[in-house]
Structure 1
């Protein structure tokens, strides 16, 4: 069984360490509360030892010691509850920060990230959730496992040096035993999360394609495949649990040995003659307290192993720079001239170039229709203009200036985009339109809805634009959903309009209804339209035929 590559392990450790440093102020609270709880336990054990010694006829103790021990017990419980809450808050804060960063990276990558949707959702959900125990339990437990037993051993050594030495030796043996039993735990945990990610990704993708599976009678085969993936996850999970069980068993063996040694050391307490019975009882009572932080450390040990596996998958995503270098726009220009000069683009050398020596110019108020078969490079042109990829050669200019000098997000600020199928969220129609510009006023949202003819069908709905729709536009037809997407483009109001098969999957009648809205959207703006539609090619004046990434002669519609 091979170990994870050193580079991946190092990047995972770097990610966890950096996140821990950012949240050290939150992590300090549960550690300080834990130390306070250990101090309360020491004082409580001291009072209980004197009470027990008095009951055995050695020394004197009364109600004051009893009430002091009871008060310290209540205080220890309160500190424990506060510690649990502080740990949960520290873990939640770390996960929220990581999830925000991961989501930002995925949004920055956009279509350039070729991972399946299920795998990406697994990264921001399952992998980050697996890091909760590292920040909420493992890190506080690791500090307390070092500081707590050391404090207890020092106090016990003050009462009886030999007992303190026994505790010191036992404390040194615990990490050695856990290291021996923990060999391969990180790899097992990583494999478990790989299996979980594969299962969740496959399940999400198949649920989305359920109608197609039923149509082609593949539901039984996919059910069996999901069952095999679930069984693989079960095996991986049981392997991680076995490692965690062995780690806990090692600790219990050491604790039993220490208790036996101290019982032998202070055994003459039972027959009399012990020089300090209260000290002997105190030493025995502190054995559970000594191992309590170590037990918490052992219980959280598998959290560290799981975190290493999860962080190894997250590190490549989060290790990218916050933003690519480039210039920022001081303001959005009112008009844009788009120029391609011998632009080349290659995604994969094995598949050949996506674009080769492509040249054209589009002026403000002009619409260029990119036509050609699938794979001819139409969508690649739009990706370049939105900053999701960079050209390998040639020059892309906006208003005469190099577009690649701008940050990718600045390129996206210049454009309004309508794709083949608008993704609508479970919210009102109004809120889905407002996503294009959240700060827009109600009047601006309604004006965009009218321009895209959304109000034509929304007026017949129970609550108009405030009508709730389901995830993916459930409750609206394909044409109505595209109208909402066009309304977003109207509301965004950018000088560059990019349309990628905006009327695909629509019947001719619905397509004809949308053409008027699209023409109004492109009026006065620079528009580039990738389409197979003959209706769109006829409606807009200029067509550029693409074939295998190369441009034919530009021509006017109808030629």
Structure 2
């Protein structure tokens, strides 16, 4: 827990340093707005003093009254313009910060890949990248400027009040010092309440995403009422915790109102007693007394804004707690570099004593694994579940790096390759391809959006999708549901093959590409894969008995070790 708190504090300090640079224009505009407010207060005090003392000094005060009113109007207009500019700059500061944080968060999620999903729910990650970072907007657009203005703007007011009436400045200073104490007391509760609110929100989102994915199972099991009740309970928990956050915020505001009321009462009582004392110079002190009294709200206005924005800091701390759980992007030992395009016919692949463990308590997933794949060769990885086949695939996709040993692609260390260069070398087809809600054309062109019609037709031919497209109501423009709803498993796998054809990468990785398919569909998919494998290096992990039809060598893994090796039974491109 202490380490987590340290990480949160470190994140908050680092973000504060970055955010203050963008908040500087907001602070400057706020200070100028305070100066305009002081000018307005002085004008009001002068006009009121002129009205209250007209019987004594009408001749002396009336010539300057029009000038005072004009000054008040100018100050009001300038203050309004400064307020608008300040809000614009604050919105830009929050926008820049959210963009930077989302880019960093998504980079961490994408860099860790499937490994991250083993320890985190996708709904929680989505809540972190969307809702939590969205909630941090107030930290950069409101809290950071307000924290600086809470010190600078009251100081300007104190200086002005000191010249008008020193005792009033001392009263404001004492009451102002009490505000941070109350903020600290209420701030602890606000941070705890905000953290619990975000936890409740994450649980609700996670449960909702899970139930939407399994809606068919829920309906068939007759559990719709139970699941609806549980969602209602989760939503009610979020409501209760949100109201607790607002309760703490209201208490904080009430404490500040009490401090301001005390300041007004003390200054008003003191000045009233002074005016009632015989021999007091009423004409000379009325404008100063009115100024000291009217300036009290302006003194507490920046403190009030800070109190309202303090909740944003609590939300930022809650976001930091989620971001602290994300793995830091690892820095490669060698600077990433690009490689020249490989020659036609595939690339070479070498594993040299590669060891890797997902967790130390689970042992090694790969244990000193060594093998070689020559350009244009096909290599079949077989073994029981948990033998390390998918770990090899994920390592070649760049999601994980070896704990020991190294992986070479055309003689280049995988750890030193630029991610964009690695992406251009590899095509991947998994057990269940991810299809997006959209047209079939959009899903195929996802691999290469700039592909022309000839390339698209060639991909459809290799993937044997021409008949499928002809049977669809709108051909390639037929809309698919989320997850490829509207296509069978075999048809979805053909879409993945078409994507791989468009990518035209020299290394093809196949991870159980025919899992969950019936034998007839499996044979058809393997026919398309044989066409796709020509002129490429192919590494396939599979349990299927029909996998040998793809040809190439066969190696068996057990507990992350190479235990058997077989020469090719059927050639494809070699």
TM-score using structure 2 length? 0.88
Q: Which moved more, 1:400-409 or 1:387-396?
A: 400-409
CA-atom RMSD, angstroms? 2.8
Task: Give 2:139's aligned residue.
Answer: 134
Are residue 11 (structure 1) and residue 7 (structure 2) matched?
yes
Query: Does the 8 A contact of 1:455 with 1:465 survive in 2?
Result: no
Cα distance in structure 2, aligned partners of 1:382 and 1:302 = 45
Does the 8 Å contact 1:269/1:277 carry over to 2? Answer: no
Contact persistence 1:127–1:314 (CA under 8 A): no
Matched, 1:179 2:184: yes
2:144, 2:167 → 1: CA distance? Answer: 31
For the pair 1:55 / 2:51, whether they are aligned, the reply is yes
Shift of 1:241: 2.7
- Number of matched pairs: 554
Where 2:188 maps in the other structure, the secondary structure is coil
One of 75, 81, 90 as aligned partner of 2:84: 81
Corresponding residue for residue 315 of structure 2: 306
Cross-structure match for 2:73: 70
Deviation at 1:298, TM superposition (A): 0.6
1:314 Cα offset (Å):
0.9
Distance 1:511 1:503 in 2: 6
Please say which of residues 277-286 and 423-432 is displaced more in the overlay.
423-432
For the structure 1 residues 285 and 443, does the alpha-carbon distance in structure 2 shift closer, same or farther, using more than 3 Å as the test? farther
Partner Cα separation in structure 1 for residue 330 and residue 357 of structure 2: 23
Is there any run of 5+ residues in structure 1 with no aligned partner, and where? none
Question: Alpha-carbon deviation of 1:194?
Answer: 2.2
Task: State the partner residue of 1:477.
Answer: 488
Normalising by structure 1, we get a TM-score of 0.90
Contact (CA 8 Å) 2:380, 2:553: kept in 1 or not? yes
1:144 and 2:149 equivalent?
yes
Report the counterpart of residue 43 of structure 1 in structure 2. Answer: 39
| 2:90 aligned with 1:90 | no
Contact 1:101 1:318 in 2 (8 A): no
CA contact (8 A) 2:132 2:319 kept: yes
Match of 1:426 among 437, 450, 464: 437
Residue 364 of structure 1 deviates from its aligned partner by 2.2
SS in 2 for 1:332: coil
Deviations 1:525-559 (A, max 9, x none): 1101122333333343443344444433425559x
- 1:324–1:408 CA contact under 8 A, matched in 2: no
Q: Is the 8 A contact 1:500 1:531 kept in 2?
A: yes
Please report how far the alpha carbon of residue 418 of structure 1 lies from its aligned counterpart in structure 2 after TM superposition: 0.8
- Residue segments in structure 2 that go unaligned for 5+ positions in a row: 55-60
Matches within 5 A, 1:396-415: 396-400=407-411, 402-406=413-417, 410-415=421-426
1:108 to 90, 108, 111: 111
- Closer, same or farther in 2 for the Cα pair 1:319/1:18, shift >3 Å? farther
Corresponding residue to 1:191 among 188, 196, 202: 196
Query: Quick one: distance in 2 between partners of 1:429 and 1:467?
Result: 6
1:329 to 334, 338, 360: 338
Report which stretch shifted further, 100-109 or 156-165: 156-165
Give me the whole-angstrom Cα distance separating, in 2, the residues matched to 1:541 and 1:313.
46
Alpha-carbon distance between aligned partners in 1 of 2:240 and 2:255, rounded to the nearest angstrom: 23
Q: Is 1:121 matched with 2:121?
A: no
Superposition pairs of residues 253-402 of structure 1, within 5 angstroms: 253-267=258-272, 273-274=281-282, 275-317=284-326, 319-321=328-330, 325-334=334-343, 335-393=346-404, 395-400=406-411, 402=413
Which deviates the most, 349-358 or 498-507? 349-358
Aligned to 1:522: 533
| Distance change (3 Å), C-alpha of 1:39 and 1:357 | closer
Match for residue 163 of structure 1 among 165, 168, 177:
168
Does the 8 Å CA contact 2:332/2:415 hold for their aligned counterparts? no
1:29 to 9, 25, 30: 25
Contact conserved, 1:387 with 1:409, CA < 8 A, in 2? Answer: no
Measured against aligned partners, the alpha-carbon deviations of 1:59-92 in whole angstroms (never above 9, x if no partner) come to: 3353443343234323322322332222122112
CA distance in 1 between counterparts of 2:408 and 2:396 reads 10
